[in-house]
Amino acid sequence: MSEARNLVAAVGAGRMGRGIAHVFAYGGHPVALVDFKPRGVAEFARLAAGAMAEIETNLRALAGEGVFDAALVPAILKRIAIVRAEEAAESLCNAELVWEGVPERIEDKADALARMSALAPDAIIASTTSTMLVTELQRHVARPERFLNAHFLNPAFLIPLVEVSPSPST
């Protein structure tokens, strides 16, 4: 993983995390797409292959619509590293911006936010929820002044809108 401090990380390798990785990689940023779920090697390999295939399919569809030159797809994909839970510390410690995109369950978000906060103590942490209050979620991070809700609409790579909700601490 790059030692660059401009790394973006998206935690949660499902639909939202993949969309966020797509957006930032397309914008020229190195992105770590972090899967916090413990998985066996084969299961993780399937997840990683599926995530990259989905992002590539979406990029090629956009290129096919004339949004950008299809020759750029390999370079965009190369900016994305899909990271296992066991390797998350290395990626998150270099991140300036970490986006949480786990399922809309408080226990999942609380766990992810606490882990992200511990592994990326200097990063800005954003939750991409539209259903939970920022004041509720900020309790799960060590530095609430560096936390906000920043909800991408889905699909993140198609809808150019991010709903931003800072807390009184932000």
Where do the H-state alpha helices sit in 27-148? Answer: 41-64, 73-78, 88-92, 106-119, 134-137
Quick one: CA dihedral 124, 129, 134, 139, positive or negative? negative
Q: Is 151 a catalytic residue?
A: yes
- Separation between Cα atoms, residue 3 and residue 5, nearest integer Å: 6
Give the active site residue among 22, 29, 140, 151.
151
Closest Cα to residue 130, out of 115, 111, 149, 103? 149
The answer to whether the CB of 114 falls within 8 A of the CB of 134 is no
- Separation between Cα atoms, residue 117 and residue 125, nearest integer Å: 8
First and final C-alpha spacing in the chain: 29
Q: Any idea which residues carry the catalytic annotation?
A: 151
